[in-house]
Chains A and B, each alone.
Chain A
Amino acid sequence: MSQQPVRFFLPCDSAAISLGADEVAQAMTTAAAADGVRVEIVRTGSRGMHWLEPLLEFECEGVRHGIGPVNPDDAASILRAVVSGKLDLPNAIGPVEEVPFFARQQRLIFSRCGVIDPVSHHQYVDHGGYEGLACALTKTPQEICDIVLNSGLRGRGGAGFPAGIKWKTVADAVDDQKYIVVNADEGDSGTFADRMIMEGDPFLLLEGMIIAGLATGATTGFIYLRSEYPIAAEILSRAIATAYDHGMLGADVKGSGKRFDVEVFIGAGAYICGEETSLLNSLEGKRGEVRAKPPIPALEGLFGKPTLVHNVISLCSVPGILQMGAAAYRNVGVGKSTGTMPFQLAGNVKYGGLFEAGFGVTLGELVNDIGGGVRVGSGVRAVQIGGPLGAYLPPKLFDLPMDYEKMLAAGAGVGHGGIVVFGDDVDLLEQARYAFEFCAEESCGKCTPCRIGAVRGVEVMDRWRAGDDPAAQRELIEDLCEVMVDGSLCAMGGMTPIPVQSAIKHFPEDFVPPAAKRDAAE
């Protein structure tokens, strides 16, 4: 038996676990015991190449090689192959970082995700962690705000509001208590970047929060995490405890004499709580109903105090910005969309996962070149970008770059960077109906056009499908969408028309009722 254990790396990411990563770990341990080989299995985040999960990695002359997807039944043969150095396994992929999907990325946020043990303070530090914080500690709050402003960073939750302006607003507000609130209520279907970074590199989020606290004068941070992410909850809690143990949180952050505390708060299953004012009400223990703005949360947020509400990825972008400087960050991306975005390829896609790249990459590159098109069926028929409130777009628009302004001009939005791919089996009338159905299910009920309009929308879609005077239904939908846009306080009611109207606009053939289709064929 050798002295050095054979070291393997295996994700503890939800997606990997959902495909059997825990069983692989167990099988590897059992196989090692049977062979009398010492192994160490380091649980990491995921590399984001989810079609390869569970992706087992091992080091070979300082380079991480991968095998995936691994079936637990193959543990013994994998172990023998790795120990003997004869890697004639069919699912061996060679050096992980040379896989084209990985090599083509620009990983500013996810650089450590999948590499390190997510709750190891030392591994985080060894891989450049807390360098952004160290830089921030040498600056005044005003200087930190200026760097964030000059970087051009925009909120990654969906709205794309300039982060620096929000930071300055909170920093300039005078109050005895201010808060940093992380919106980790990642409810948009097709998005999982927040989950992955919280499971794979949670210290990065804490570091971003601490820097935000230094810049704005907030001493308390809350992470509002959706209850559908129990593994993220566990890893975050362990990371927070570790950060306290190492003096990165608490009364004396990194020996600076500054205080910052962080708590995780678990939601209770409400999509609307991803809307910032609804989230704040929920965090106060109330119904998650949206609040009218103004007052903006930056001035009157949690318990009426100045509050910086930010998406997970926005805050995770900050340590890197401090490290590389605003000008260097601004050079990544395109136009007013600076920096990188973790794009998420989901649904019926061959190579699903997370691809971090600078803004400006086109939709077609992401879906076809990187995502490999559909997993099942003959081809891509539609994509939905930016979650349930995002537009359905056809392949003829795949030249569109991921750019806040250009997407907006096309009637779509980057949102949180999620792209759901649909194959030729998709029925866009059904998807439009579902947009209303989802809105009816998840509306907080405060605004009538959203609460009742969504229900009426489902009914109208059902009549449209049945062929009951389609022209009249179309008119009703247009009218209803206008009322929802104009008469809703938040994006739930205000943006539900986007998937509906984009589906009607780009896929009119799906809105021809079956009877009419038959008539046309005859």
Chain B
Amino acid sequence: MESANPSIKDLLAPYVGATGGLLSSLRAVNDALGHLPPETEEIAAEVFNLSRAEIKGVISFYADFRRTPPTGPTVRLCVAEACQAAGGRQVERELKAAYSEADISAFGGGTSGDVDQAACAIDYRPVYCLGLCSVAPAALVGDRLVGRANLERIKTCLAAAGEKTR
């Protein structure tokens, strides 16, 4: 825990004085560490000379800021109207069935299943619009945009992402 502190501070520091610096600095930590560790609040409060309540208020407001690390490759499926119209709800159901609830860390909460399942665990969160409404349903698997998403295409992207990390 202690060893992480200097790095969080280093990530935050360049944004002091920048326009909207707090938001950008939290993004930098979130991107670098995959989430905002609990001590981020205290460190950011000190770095930006704000109260912890203010920092917590900002962190809790935005969907991008995660309190817990991803439990597997991230899958974000658009659940907004255009994707609903093109069968997005069905894709979401299929995704949830293929990766049992235990394997899905919805909204960044909960944990993945036991160790055996960890290999197939995904970190699923819905997203409201990826701007791919004309090629709906849309998904974001890792950093790969997927138009006309279906379970097969999502699985293919997950496999490719797995290859890359190996």
Contacts and interface: CB of A to CB of B under 8 A. Distances in A.
Contact of B27 (A266, A270, A283): A266
A50, A230, A267, A346 pick with most chain B CB within 10 angstroms? A346
A285 B131 contact: no
A229 B131 contact: yes
A19 interface: yes
Interface stretch (B82-90, B95-103, B109-117): B82-90
B20 A285 contact: yes
B129 A344 contact: no
Given A19-B148, A285-B21, 8 more contacts: A15-B147, A266-B24, A282-B23, A284-B19, A285-B23, A346-B82, A347-B81, A420-B82
Given A18-B132, A269-B62, A283-B19, A190 B24 contact: no
A188 interface: yes
A285 B22 contact: yes
A189 interface: yes
Contacts of A434: 81, 84
Interface size class of B (residues with CB under 8 A): 35 or more
B100 to A, nearest CB: 24
Given A189-B80, A265-B19, A269-B64, A230 B143 contact: yes
Nearest to A426: B85
B128 A438 contact: yes
B81 to A, nearest CB: 4
Given A230-B143, A283-B19, A352 B85 contact: no
B83 A270 contact: no
A213 to B, nearest CB: 16
B159 interface: no
Contact of B133 (A229, A418, A438): A418
B8 to A, nearest CB: 17
B135 interface: yes
B145 A18 contact: yes
B81 A420 contact: yes
B134 A352 contact: yes
Contacts of B140: 228
20 contacts: A15-B132, A18-B132, A19-B135, A186-B129, A189-B81, A228-B129, A230-B143, A265-B19, A270-B61, A282-B23, A285-B19, A285-B58, A346-B82, A347-B81, A347-B83, A347-B84, A347-B133, A420-B133, A431-B81, A442-B128
B14 interface: no
Given A268-B26, A347-B82, A283 B20 contact: yes
Interface string A388-415: 1000000000000000000000000000
Contacts of A139: none
Contact of A347 (B22, B57, B85, B146): B85
A263 interface: yes
A17 interface: yes
A420 B88 CA distance: 13
Interface string A231-266: 100000000000000000000000000000001011
A271 interface: yes
Contacts of B131: 14-15, 186, 191-192, 195, 228-229
Nearest to A232: B131
A190 B20 contact: no
A265 B21 CA distance: 10
A346 B57 CA distance: 35
Nearest to A387: B81
A44 interface: no
A345 B86 CA distance: 12
A376 B86 CA distance: 8
Interface in B115-155: 127-136, 138, 140, 143, 145-148
Contact of B82 (A190, A228, A286): A190
Contacts of A271: 128
B134 A288 contact: no
B1 interface: no
A376 B146 contact: no
A287 B148 CA distance: 34
A441 B62 CA distance: 11
Nearest to A273: B62
Nearest to B126: A441
A227 interface: yes
Interface in B61-90: 61-65, 78, 80-87
Nearest to B25: A285
Nearest to A48: B134
Nearest to B18: A285
Given A263-B19, A347-B85, A420-B81, A189 B128 contact: yes
A352 B85 CA distance: 13
A50 B19 contact: no
